[in-house]
Structures are given as C-alpha cells and as structure tokens.
Chain A
Amino acid sequence: MKNFPFGNAALAILVMALLSGSWLAAHPAGGHRTTLTLWVFAKEHNENYHNILPTFLAKHPGVSVDIQLVANNTLAARLQSAMVADVDVPDMCEIEITQAGTFFRGPLDDVGFLDLTDRIHRTGLWDQLVRARFAPYTKKGRIFGLPHDVHPVALAYNRVAFEELGIDPNKIETWDDFIAVGHRITKTTGANPRYLIELSDSARDQLEPLLFQRGGGFFDKDGNCIIDNDIAVKTMAWYVPLVAGPHKIGNNLGGGQVLTQAVESEYLLSLIAPDWRTRGFENDMAHMSGKMAIMPLPAVTKGGPRTSTWGGTMMGITKRCAHPELAWELAMQLYYSREKLADRYLKSNILPPKRDLWNDPAIQAPKAFWSGQRLGKIYSELAPEVPPQYASPFLELAKNKLSEAVVSCVQQYQASGDAGFEDFCRRRLKQSADEVRRQMARNPY
C-alpha cells in the first residue's frame, strides 16, 4: 500500500471503482430480464394496457412485459436514436400517425419494424378491420403497423345554446346549411363574442379533417404530395372565409383550459370532434355534462359522407424483438380482444378498428355527458365511411407547409377579400407542395 506511487487517495478511488464495477457486473439491472418492452405515448393507453396485462401474463407464465409511458414529443426522437444506435430498442412501440411515416424512410429492408402484411392476411385481420386504417402504416404495399383506432369525425355542439338560439341540428345536412346558421348567430365584436365553430386561422388543425372529407389529403397512395391538387385549392378557398374577413364564423383560442373556458362561456358553440377528442371534453369540461351533444359532420354536398378522420396510432413490432410471436399475441390482446373492452372504451371513447367489437354493450351505451346520446353507436355508424390517409416520411413537413399556406391565405383574404382569391390559393399551395417535393427529391426511396 505504502508503495502505491500516486498516494492513498488515488488508491482509495481505484479500489472503490473496482469494487463498485464488480458489484454492478454481478448484479445486472432487472430490466434485462423483461421478455417484452412496449413504449406507449398516451396515458389512457398505458392504463388500459396495464389492466389487460394480468390475463396475458397468466397465459404465459415466466413472461414479463414492461410497458413504458413516453411523452409523444420525445418518443419519436428516442426511437429514432435507439434504432440508429441499435441500442435499447423496445420490442413493440406505439407511434402517432403523423410520425409513423418517418420510420418508413429508406429501403424497405431498412424499416425498423417487422413486416406484418402476411400475418395480417393470414389471420383475417385484413377483412375484420376497417381497411382504410392500414393505409397510414403501409409502405409500397407492405404493412408495418397495426391500427389502434378508426377516429371517425363528428361535430360536438353545445346543445343548450343551440336550442336557445333556435338551431335545429337535424336541419343541418350540408356545410352550406351550417354556414348559413353561422352567419346568423356569430358575433365577432362586443363584450361577449360568439363563434359557431372552433376553426384555426393559423394552422391546418381543423382544415385537415375537412380536406379529407372532400377526398383530399397530403399524399396519394403512391406517395405523391397532393396538397396543391384541385380539391385542396377548393377546400382552402372555401375554408379561409370561415375564419377571416367580415363573414367569419369560426375562431380558436387554443387547447386545454382555454378551450374549456371558451366552450363553457359560449365563445365557441361547436367543435370538430373525432372520437378521441370527446373523452378529453368529458374530462376537461365537466360543467358541460348533459349540455353537449354530437351530430355527424355536415356533408359537402347533399348525400355525401358525413364524416372524416383526424389522428391515429399504430403499434409496430421492432426487428430487435426476440419474441415476435409473443409480441403479436400481446398486440392482439391489447388492441382487438374483448378483454376489458368496456373498460378500455370508457376510458378513451376510442372506437376500435375491428368491426365485430362495435356491438359491445359498452360501446352502444348512452352517455350522460352527451345528453344521453349513444356516442359509440354514432361513431360506429360513421366509421365505415372514414377516408384513408397515406403514409409518407414527409407527412409532418407537408402538414407544416399546409399550415403556412393557411396563414398566407388568411392574410391575403384579409387584405384583398374574394378578388382573385382562389388563384392565390392555387399559387400558394403549389409553392408549399413544391417545397415538400424538393425535400422528397433528396430521398431516393
């Protein structure tokens, strides 16, 4: 000891480092014994899956499942990094629809998820699920994700305020009917302004489902950017006067508590509501219980589709998964089984994409918050008409570009009104689409 050349302090540090290193080597972390790791980003999903898990684990003694809740904003970044470094990649992962395409960059063989196409056909899921919901998770005909939802879109409205204002939702069949009502009851000035509907003048949030309702979208099934096609131009030219200019009927103030206050104070009378959003309303707007109701979206033309789609989630099994059969079985249990279905539905109001589950009594039951309406029944009737969305690694970019176009078009409309407005929309959308195409041109796949 005395002869250690660098002194006792250095010797002590060295001994401690060796001892602690040996201890760590002899006691590997518990997580290494986990059979399956699943990342989810939604709190409700996390709770639901933990409820279902005991049944799965009882069927598979010795198996353990580690479900980790990761914030949606960081999940994609973490998964990207994990896949690049090939370290700490989960066995299974849920991904939000906008980000899903990012993971399909590069050649098919390099996609970090297992190709589930053959399994989906072999097990009959292809025929049992709403087929349009496979589209966002498909690349070149190969399916890499299982759809968690359908997300049909309806219109949530303040029933009491509608009645007081003499608005009969049954008489609103088309957007023209709806806009006429909006012109009658919207007040943009005064101490208590009031707007018929929540619509954004600075982002594409509500424009997106309206674009899908008209048969438009961001990409076609071959991956071409279509945000400047004729449908998009017409939709933009129709949408902007609803949020800008003298005849606007829509506005938005933000989400969360602000939205709650806006609805409770009757600043906003209706909201575009995919099924997932209704549960948020129930949680955040408790004072509105029994005063809200749901109606199908107004159609573009009489007899046209009364719904659209907004949002989505997939579950993928990563190529790093050592037990793909087990992971598949777990995914089936979590997504498409009747196990705790009532519990799952009541916690999220999300309609599963498997059609034979829609007749479940919990889904068909009336809901007090929605004035006793059978929420699940309404959404399940709309679900078959949900339009497809197509995947692209550039989906996020295209959505951002559409948002920028909304801002430009709103500014143009405020400055110049209707004169030449459709042409302006066409030019502006083409500019946005060209910027997307320019980025796409750098990706040979």
Chain B
Amino acid sequence: MTSASLQQEEKAVVRTAERTGPGGGMFRFQQRFAPYLFVSPFLIVFAIFGLYPIVKSMALSLYATNGPKDHVFVGLSNYRFLFTDPDFGVAVRNTAVYTFWTVFLQLPLALGLAILLSQKWIRGRDWFRLAFFSPQLVGQVFVGVLFMVLYVPQYGLVNRGIHAALVSFPLDTKWLGDARMVMPALVLASLWMYVGFNMIYFLAALQAVDRELYEAAMVDGANGWQQFLAVTIPGIKPVAVYVLVMATIGSLQLFELPYTMLQQSSGPDKSGLTIVMYLFQNGFVSGDLGYASAVGWTLALGILTISLIQMRVTGAWKGVKE
C-alpha cells in the first residue's frame, strides 16, 4: 500500500467518524436503539407465542366456557370446583406417586450407572453409554407403544419372561388392564427411558470432580464409600440438584407415556390419569377450556412451589442468591 492510498484511507476514516462518531447523529441512534433491535426478534416471538397465551390462559381460567363462543365470567369458581373435584384429586395423587417413584428410583440408578460406566476397567463402556442413552432418542410415544406390546397379557414378553422364571406368575396378568398394575408399568417404562439420559449428566459431573481430592482422601485413609460421600457427592451436587429439579418437573408434566400406553384413556379406575392428561381431557375432549386453564395454572404454581422447595432444601437456592 502506498503512502498516498494510506492518506486517502485515513481521511475516509476521519469522515466516517465525524458522521457516526460520539458526536454524530447516526452513532447516537445506534447506541440507543441497536440493543433493542437485536433483542426484538426474540421479544416479538415471545410476546406472540409465549406471553399472549400465558395471559390469555390466565384470563380464560376465570371463565366458564361452553362451546367455542360462549364465555361467562365466573371469577375463581373454576379453581373452587377444581379443589373439590375427585377426578382432579386422583390425577394429583397419581402424578405424585409417579413422580416419587421415578425420581427416587431414577436418580440413584442413573448415578450408579454413571459411576459404573466411568470405571476404566469396563470393556466397551462407550457402547454401553450409547446403549443406555439411546431410549431417550426415540421419544415417549415410541416407548409407550413399545411397552404396550411388551406388557400384553398371555403373549407379551414381560409376562412370558416372568412366568418362565416364576411359574406361579399368571400369564394373563394385565399390566395395563389392572388398576393396581398400571403405575408400576408406567414407572418401569419411564425408568427405561430416562435412567440413561440422566446417567449422561452424572457422567459429565463425575469427570469434573478434581482427582486430587480423591488422592488427598486416600492419603487421609478414606475408603471407597467415604470417598463417595465426602468427595463425589459434594462434587456432583450442582448437577444432581439440576437433575432432581428437572426430573421432578418432567414427571409432574407426564402426558405422552400414559396417553399412548393406555390408548388415550385414563386406564382402569383412572389409575393412569395424570394432571396434564386431565387438563387435555377437559380442554380438548370435553371442550371446557376455562376449566382446563385453571388446571394448567394450578399445575404451574405447584411445579414452581415444589421446585423452590427442592432448591431451598438442597441448598441450591443459596447459590442462586449469592
């Protein structure tokens, strides 16, 4: 580049700076509006597809809806009815039972698997990791259909397998047709799907634990179990809390699995009815959108409360505040 062209370039920069620099109008315009412009696509999409439905559903929960057009303001009457509605009570109970069993079986199993598959002496551990994670790739509907076939009475693989090992087990046991068996059937299917998924989180967390802490613990004479309690658990705690909260939220929102496995029904004696299924039935089967909105808002507040309690109890809330 010659000195003449360098001079020309310099002059051009100066001219631009005069026009758009700190004193220039364009600069001020950019400074002031550019951030809003950059966030505006998200804000517009969120306002249309997020905020508006949220506000609308909140308003709708205060109306009795009869058909597509007829809305009558009823205040909190939908909520009052909800808390005395035996079907909603059953849905809450079923969802709570499912959440309890899935979370408290899923997390220890996922952690156990992660610890097992982080051991270097296991051959083909990458393959096992993929195998355990793979159910997550197919989605709840596929898992629902698969388990529906596995649970078939008389001819299904599950009954045949148990009967082969335990002759007294009746071949015609109806996993999905007996009110007492539906919840165990759902929990088993969900474990198959989610244990591998949560294992991945724990694997990542285990790899991030400082190896020197284990060495220091060994020097102090800690055995394997003591190392697990004193080093591993504190090391993976943030991830464990995240998995706990997410697993709880996911369980409370259970829908596709029972909806598919029970073929769009609530199961015998409502044994597979969950809160979101109840919401769906009221909103889109019965056409009572007002009541369904009330169910939705009650669930949302329930999830918020439970998540806050979990974060408080596990100490994660303290970390957030700091």
B235 contacts A by Cβ under 8 Å = no
How many Å lie between the Cα of A251 and that of B177 in the bound state? 11
B146 contacts A by Cβ under 8 Å = no
- Chain B residues bordering chain A, tally (CB within 8 A): 43
How many Å lie between the Cα of A70 and that of B284 in the bound state? 15
Query: Which of B2-10, B66-74, B92-100, B242-250 makes up part of the contact surface?
Result: B66-74
A14 CB, nearest partner CB in chain B, Å = 11
Q: Which of A81, A106, A254 has the most C-beta atoms of chain B within 10 angstroms of its own C-beta?
A: A254
How many Å lie between the Cα of A202 and that of B37 in the bound state? 59
A172 CB, nearest partner CB in chain B, Å = 26
Please give me the residue from chain A that is nearest to B174 by CB atom.
A202
Report the number of A-B residue pairs with Cβ-Cβ less than 8 Å. 115
Residues of A within 8 A of B281 (CB): 396
A417 CB, nearest partner CB in chain B, Å = 20
Q: Are B64 and A442 in contact (CB under 8 A)?
A: yes
Q: Which of B87, B268, B285, B291 contacts A99 (CB 8 A)?
A: B285
B226 contacts A by Cβ under 8 Å = no
B30 contacts A by Cβ under 8 Å = yes
**With A76-B284, A84-B289, A107-B70 as contacts: A404 and B269 at CB distance below 8 Å:** yes
A110 contacts B by Cβ under 8 Å = yes
**With A84-B289, A254-B153 as contacts: A6 and B269 at CB distance below 8 Å:** no
A193 contacts B by Cβ under 8 Å = yes
Residues of B within 8 A of A201 (CB): 177
Q: Are B26 and A5 in contact (CB under 8 A)?
A: yes
Residues of B within 8 A of A202 (CB): 174, 177-179, 268-269
A191 CB, nearest partner CB in chain B, Å = 9
Please give me the residue from chain A that is nearest to B273 by CB atom.
A400
How many Å lie between the Cα of A200 and that of B176 in the bound state? 12
A91 CB, nearest partner CB in chain B, Å = 16
Q: Which of B29, B64, B154 contacts A267 (CB 8 A)?
A: B154
A-B contact pairs, 17 of them (CB 8 A): A73-B264, A77-B285, A102-B286, A103-B287, A105-B287, A106-B69, A110-B67, A111-B67, A203-B177, A253-B154, A258-B153, A258-B155, A258-B156, A262-B154, A407-B269, A408-B269, A442-B81
Q: Given A6-B30, A84-B68, A445-B66, output 18 extra A-B contacts at Cβ < 8 Å.
A: A5-B29, A5-B30, A73-B264, A77-B284, A83-B68, A102-B287, A106-B68, A110-B69, A200-B177, A203-B265, A253-B174, A254-B176, A258-B153, A258-B155, A394-B286, A407-B179, A407-B269, A442-B64
